[in-house]
Structure 1
Amino acid sequence: MDREQEQIIRTEYSELMQKSYIDYAMSVIVSRALPDVRDGLKPVQRRTLYDMYELGIRYDRPYRKCARIVGDTMGKYHPHGDSSIYESLVVMAQDFKKGLPLVDGHGNFGSIEGDGAAAMRYTEARLQKVTQDAFLSDLDKDVVDFGPNFDETEKEPQVLPVRLPNLLVNGSEGIAVGMVTSTPPHNLGEVIDAVKATILNHKITTEELMQYIQGPDFPTGGIVINKDDLLSVYETGTGKIRLRGRVEIEKLKGGKERIVITEIPYTMMGANIGKFLNDIAGLVENKTTTDIVDISNQSSKDGIRIVLELRKNADTQNIINMLYKKTRLEDTFGVNMLAVANGKPETLGLKAIIEHHIDFQFELATRKYKNLLGKEKAKQEIQEGLIKACDVIDLIIEILRGSKNREQVKKCLVEGITEGIRFRTKASEKAAAKLHFTENQANAILDMRLYKLIGLEIEALEAEHAQTLKNIAAYEDILTNYRSMAKVIMKDLDRLKKEYASERKTSIENAKAAVFEEKKMEEAEVVVLIDRFGYTRSVDLSVYERNKESADAENRFVVHCLNTDKLCIFTDTGRLHLLKVADLPYGRFRDKGTPLDNLCNYSSTEEEILRIEGLNAVKSTNLLFATQQGMIKKVEGKEFDVSKRTIASTKLTDGDKLIAVLLIGEEEQIVLQSTDGYFLRFMLEEVPVKKKAAIGVRGMKMNAKDQLLQVHLLTPNGDDIAIYKDKEVHLNRLRISKRDAKAVKTRVS
């Protein structure tokens, strides 16, 4: 390129990135993720439905392969990949996701339990009758704007002429850049009633609208339990809706009962049903409840049916409350009614959505009836020309017989030019000169067939003309009179409600918070067994005593405690893991158990267990901590009675690690032993009591390469022995020194 023509534009990199990202974000928001408030559709949904309309896949015609629909839509209108188009098509056909399905699917379109649809080469689809009737029927009447597609080879509608408030009826969910939309579905009949009420009273309040719209109506049914919060949700467009599944109690023989779940919260659809069943099984396994003896999912295409078999004399209502409290049988639906309004994203309340819909309906009706009025006026012109021509038909025939070509006849009929036309009489020529038909009328006369001159045909033409005048008057009244247009719109809404509305599925009520009373566990002594591989279980004390020798030989840790206690697991990294004994598998002595890694935050690959004790034992005394670098301290055991599952039991310097955690009983003296064979004996009272977050004090002076190996607490009047180089060292014979003194190398005999 010539340097004189070269132009370098300098710009700040951050400004360029900001502009580019904003452009990308707005493209995602407006053109991909958010629905338009007017038709309640995202671009991919709108394009899919329009393509099916263009392909002629109507409700009364045969199904067509989904692969054909997806390919055509992608090639013409939506070049963003086939998966997004097919997923959109599938969702529009699923009656458990949409209150008003827009696509009639044939084949495997997935299930409420999360089964995916079959590949698009196997499934077929066509439009639903309501889609053709209420979404696409007026596309030929120039009621919406069309624009170029992505490569400007086709035209596509900017919005569909939807006559139902689809954003409310079917709801919408989508994630854009920095924003999310989540609009719940509603009952068609209720929404239409609310629209009509707003047309008749522009000052209607949200509270008054809720006399018509009780609340969301989810395809899965269920119960909305926070009725009093709905007014705030609908006024602001944001909030939370609490949902519960519907539960029935069936009585069986022998005084037994079972719980049957017949409807689930909308948020539980898909894989969450399987998780719900696993959660119930988990509640049974960890003994939160012992009253559920069997769980079975008997759901089918006819509906949800999850059955929980109960023990005799079980507290059924308490179990139901447990399901509400501890599973997703009670869940929250987050509402954020965000949609594209006037070209930009906006969070809309209930009244605002309805007002946007009404404005759109009046715009559609105005364009529709202007178009129809124009067509009727064009018909009027032709009809009046033909009626007038019937009155002078003999003259027109004479003009036709005396003319040389069509153009000559046309000039005579329109402008009265008789030059070049042979007439039988001068009177006929004078009469022809007075003709003043319009150009359209002249063309219609020239195209008229002779059978139109039959008397009955003339009468039919006059009757048709009278009807045309009647239509023109009606259309002009609709276009100039607000009440007339409103009446037409409401009449159409009444027709759609009568044909497509259904009974409400979701109940709306104010329910009390579920209160679950966990049965208190009967306190009993148990023994926790942990083998060298970390497999953990608890057994009854009597079981342990019968197998004491084997238990002590086969397990690394044997901890006596209560079943209501917690285990304190101290590791060399200075961490303390707390684990409820009740969470451990409880059973027979020969059961394998569960790896400790799976029960708490302990990691067998990163840390080593130094000591395991029951929390009750820890709280009742002080603990002695010692580290590899010789730091020691006492800590009050009650400091470890915390609610967290993992805490720091002590503070360590870089490169140091914990080597001992000991419970202090009646011991009065302590002996520190190093790896090089140095021993230091001093009074235990010299070790200060510190907080668990403290490092501690130095226990004894050591050489640079020496490390603390072991800590011994000496029992009064005992004969404690340590092993060094396979030799016995009698600790009670060591000289008593002071803490932090230099230890003496001990000779072994």
Structure 2
Amino acid sequence: MTDVIAGPLSVETLSMRDYAEKAYLDYSMYVILDRALPHIGDGLKPVQRRIIYAMSELGLKAGSKYKKSARTVGDVIGKFHPHGDSAAYEAMVLMAQDFSYRYPLVDGQGNWGSADDPKSFAAMRYTESKLARYAEVLLGELGQGTVDWQPNFDGTLNEPVVLPAQVPNVLLNGTTGIAVGMATDVPPHNLREIVDATVHLLENPKATVADLCEYVKGPDYPTDSEIITPEDDLQAMYQSGRGSVKMRASWSVEDGAIVVNALPYQVSGSRVLEQIAAQMQARKLPMVSDLRDESDHEHATRFVIVPRSNRVDLEGLMSHLFATTDLERNYRVNLNLIGIDGRPAVKALNVILGEWLRFRRTTVQRRLEHRLDRVNRRLHVLEGYLIAYLNIDEVIRIIREEEEPKPALIARFGLSDVQAEAILDLKLRNLAKLEEMKIRGEQDELAAERDKLELTLGSDARMKTLIKKELMAVAEVHGDERRSPITQREEARPFSETELASSDPLTIVLSEMGWIRAAKGHDIDPTSLNYKSGDGFKLAARGKSNLPTVVFDSTGRAYSIASHALPSARGQGEPLTGRINPPSGATFEGLLTGADSDKFLLASDAGYGFVARFADLQSKNKAGKACLNLPKGARVLQPAAVPLGDQLLVAAVTSLGRLLVFPLSDLPEMARGKGNKIIGIPGPKAAAREEVVVGVCAMRSDDVLEVTAGKQHLKLKPADLEHYRGERGRRGNKLPKGFQKVASMRVLS
């Protein structure tokens, strides 16, 4: 609501909400249009455009001498950009860094920062600068009527609204910016690829993004590191105008060591070294023995990572470093630009190049029209010169005798005001040069140029050909090969805790009450360890600290535990129930450890079993996974490791002294289940089971089998075992007298 109070002083009253809303909107539009987002025509933000224009006005072309950067910054902030000098200088520095800009616009002399620390540049009073050769691509046509001009901030000077870029610079150098409510992230590209795509679109206006991606393979950053984003994702990014690009450091192997020779865009080398060193200090890279920085003037980036031995998987090590350090980085892409309509929008690749071609066509048309106007004006003046030459005596007389010679010349020879003024401006010494042949020769040349300009302006095909030739000419002069190769790589994967753990021999011990611990080495006697009162030794398994441990409970469920994280055997361990969640009332009956490819024989005392891979027994779930299905009333037997080799055998012994031996190949390999019958035993006639299986093992054909009954031990050699060979599922044969109550069985290698 606006109220106007009449009186000597009129006061306009606005609500705070309306005032704040209008002020914020004005500020937002200023930030969007005049600070943060680039224009699609020249790809520059206002501060960058003003720096380049100010340098051209100072005569700092590529062929001139360097001047102090402070001189340029002073002109920029004093004439065109009334902001802080440090902000203007930083924008200037960015355009001079060949590791920040794909095609630098400023040629700097002195300390302009380094890829390791872009902010380490010297103060403006120390550095010197001039425009790079590539800047001519933006400025070359500036004085030819190609673009509009606007007053500077105080109205004393004019500055170009946009520079007449001869190539789509907005995609070549890229830019980043944060406005109000929107941002832009345009990656740099290769000049030749962009020009080829632009020419294709010029000749085929209906070309799709997929067509243009035949030429534009992807961004091209000013670094030799790899782009590993899949081709389909890059095309989708160019289609929607949004996406991301993933870069990965380039590396090679020299004398068994890893050498990193290129980092992702704007990644600090010292930061990467710190990240790797921190992991080494935290003992998260036990396979690395040394880290060196051998970067110098010849090798801008050269990091050497020395493995502990030649058995280290270098591919796996680099995959871990890619996943955990800045050796691999994602870059957001948001093609948000100010279009030729003056409005910001996120645009697809074909839209960006299409709009730029319209901008370029307008620029070329204005340049040709400007030149045509100058040619016509010169021809008009030459006509007047010719008249003056043919009537030189009369012209001289009029100038000498008439008080106002200009009207007299116009009246006498029918000249225009422009022609008469040109004749009067001639110096006496130039009269001798006004020879008829020279005038007519210049007229012929200009007339031919005029006809050519008019043909081009009147023909759409000729205009396209001219734009194409000029694009190709720029690509020929400033184009180069792609720097960032696009490759297909597997996704980086960090090492797990198990993989990072050292491979030390370990003996895992489980007590009767379910307390678990781990002792270093395989020469430990588990029965001699100290146990809690009322507790004692139950199971043990020998393995390595970097291999997981699997525990079976009395219901047939399997649980995984990290071996290296188990408590030391110097103490009494800790209860397993603190790490896993078994069913209520369940006890622990099996303990094993090994590699994923190892195989184990799982069986119940009811005489059923199968072979399982160790990988299939593992579970990340605290509640474990069901592996062995038990018949009613049956118990889990300690799983038996399956040795390597051919012609393996299974030996099963019952509590009543019956032994059966048959080929292991007769048992199926499964991930879970009840399994097949191993040895035949009669079913229970009452609540108490008369006969159960007390031991099952897998063995080689030349192994010795030891059976224990009370204090008696029976060793059965391969020849002795022939008596107990039979088909799977049979009753087996009785052991000798004294072994009718077998307690256990084991294999002696």
**Pairwise same-fold verdict (TM > 0.5):** yes
Structure 1 unaligned regions, length at least 5: 417-434, 528-537, 543-561, 567-578, 590-611, 623-640, 645-749
Structure 2: which amino acid aligns with 1:506?
S
Partner of 1:325: 323
Q: How far, CA to CA, are the matches of 2:435 and 2:565 in structure 1?
A: 93
Which residue in 1 is equivalent to 2:738? none
1:365 aligns with 2:361: no
**CA RMSD, 1 decimal:** 3.9
- Contact 1:565–1:616 (Cα < 8 Å) also in 2: no
Are residues 75 and 581 of structure 1, via their aligned partners in 2, closer, same or farther at CA, if it must alter by over 3 Å? farther
Offset of 1:86 from its aligned partner? 1.0
- Three-state SS of the structure 1 residue aligned to 2:316 is helix
Are the equivalent residues in 1 in contact too, given 2:110–2:127 (CA < 8 A)? yes
Cα offset, 1:101, TM superposition: 0.2
Give matches, 1:529-540, under 5 Å. Answer: none
- Cα contact 1:228–1:510 (8 A) shared by 2: no
1:484 is aligned to 2:462: yes
Q: Residue in 1 aligned with 2:488? A: 510
Is the counterpart of residue 278 in structure 1 residue 238 in structure 2? no
Q: Residue 123 of structure 2 aligns to which amino acid in structure 1?
A: A
Give the residue type in structure 2 aligned to 1:79.
P
Hey, what's the Cα distance between the residues in 2 that align with 1:485 and 1:315? 59
The equivalences for 1:126-141 within 5 A come to 126-131=130-135, 133-141=136-144
Query: When the two structures are superposed, what TM-score results if normalisation uses the length of structure 1?
Result: 0.65
Q: Sort the Cα spacing of 1:347 and 1:440 in 2 relative to 1 into closer, same or farther, 3 A.
A: same
In structure 2, stretches of 5+ residues that fail to align are: 509-517, 523-543, 549-560, 583-618, 623-749
What does the per-residue CA deviation read over 1:260-280, in whole Å, with 9 as the maximum and x for residues that have no partner?
1111111xx254x33322222
- Deviation of 1:309 after TM superposition, in Å, equals 1.3
Per-residue CA distance 1:701-744 (angstroms, 9 max, x = gap): xxxxxxxxxxxxxxxxxxxxxxxxxxxxxxxxxxxxxxxxxxxx
The residue type paired with residue 234 of structure 1 is Y
Q: Give the Å deviation of 1:400.
A: 4.9
* Corresponding residue of 2:380: 381
In structure 2, relative to structure 1, the CA distance for the partners of 1:108 and 1:450 (3 Å cut) is closer
C-alpha deviations, 1:283-330, integer Å up to 9, x for none?
Answer: 334444322211112223442211111222222222122222222222
Tell me the CA shift for residue 190 of structure 1: 1.2
Could you tell me which residue of structure 1 aligns to residue 332 of structure 2? 334
Q: 1:242 maps to which residue? A: 246
Q: Given that residues 410 and 420 in structure 2 are in contact (C-alpha distance below 8 angstroms), is that contact kept between their aligned partners in structure 1? A: yes
**Aligned-partner SS, 1:114:** coil
**1:38 corresponding residue in structure 2:** 41
Aligned mate of 1:208, from 206, 211, 215: 211
Contact 2:67 2:128 in 1 (8 A): yes
Residue 51 in structure 1 maps to residue 54 in structure 2: yes
1:172 aligns with 2:175: yes
Task: Tell me which of 290, 304, 310 is aligned to 1:307.
Answer: 304
Deviation for aligned residue 1:526: 11
User: Residues of 1 paired with 2:253 and 2:342: CA distance?
Assistant: 51
**Superposed displacement of residue 410, structure 1:** 3.1
> 233-242 or 485-494, which moves further after superposition?
485-494
CA contact (8 A) 2:5 2:11 kept: no
1:345 equivalent in structure 2: 344
- Partners of 1:32 and 1:619 lie apart in 2 by 57
- 1:14 deviates by 3.5
Deviation larger for 382-391 or 29-38: 382-391
- Structure 2 residue identity aligned to 1:618: G
Q: CA deviation at 1:156?
A: 1.7
Change in Cα spacing, 1:523 to 1:162, as seen in structure 2 (3 Å) is same
- Give the letter for the 1:295 counterpart: L
3-state DSSP class of the match of 2:139? coil
Q: Which amino acid aligns with 1:243?
A: M
Looking at structure 2, the residues matched to 539 and 354 of structure 1 have their Cα atoms a distance apart, in angstroms, of 68
Q: Is the 8 A contact 1:32 1:44 kept in 2?
A: yes
Distance (Å, rounded) in 2 between the aligned partners of 1:283 and 1:217: 31
Q: How many Å separate the matches in 1 of 2:108 and 2:452?
A: 40
Give runs of aligned pairs for residues 387-466 of structure 1, distance below 5 A.
Answer: 387-397=386-396, 399-400=398-399, 403-405=401-403, 407=404, 409-416=405-412, 435-448=413-426, 457-466=435-444
Moved more, 94-103 or 201-210: 201-210
The alignment partner of 1:139 has SS state of coil
Could you say which residue in structure 2 is the equivalent of 1:297? Answer: 293
Q: What's the offset of the Cα at 1:441?
A: 2.1
Match of 2:292, SS state, is strand
Q: Structure 1 stretches (4+) deviating beyond 6 angstroms?
A: 523-527, 538-542, 562-566, 579-584, 641-644
Separation of aligned partners in 1, 2:574 and 2:343: 61
**Distance in 1 (alpha carbons) for counterparts of 2:206 and 2:87:** 41
Q: 1:228 aligns with which of 217, 227, 232?
A: 232
Deviations 1:625-656 (A, max 9, x none): xxxxxxxxxxxxxxxx9999xxxxxxxxxxxx
Q: How many residues align?
A: 540
Native 8 Å contact 1:114 1:270 kept in 2: no
The residue number in structure 2 matching 1:471 is 449
Deviation at residue 111 of structure 1 after TM alignment: 0.5
The 3-state SS of whatever aligns with 1:231 is helix
Q: Distance in 1 between matches of 2:563 and 2:46?
A: 55
- 1:168–1:613: structure 2 CA closer, same or farther, 3 Å change rule? farther
Q: Check 1:481–1:323 CA distance in 2 against 1; reply closer, same or farther (3 A cut).
A: same
Q: What one-letter code is carried by the residue in structure 1 that aligns with 2:223?
A: T
What is the CA deviation profile of residues 415-453 of structure 1, one whole-angstrom value per residue up to 9, with x for unaligned ones? 23xxxxxxxxxxxxxxxxxx3222222233344456666
1:413 is displaced (CA, Å) by: 2.7
Structure 1 residue aligned with 2:121: 117
Verify the 8 A CA contact 2:201 2:354 in the aligned structure 1.
yes
Query: How far, CA to CA, are the matches of 2:334 and 2:60 in structure 1?
Result: 34
**TM superposition shift of 1:580:** 9.5
Letter in 2 for 1:351: N
Asked if 1:108 corresponds to 2:111, the answer is yes
Instruction: Say if 1:184 and 1:216, in contact at 8 Å, map to a contact too.
Output: yes
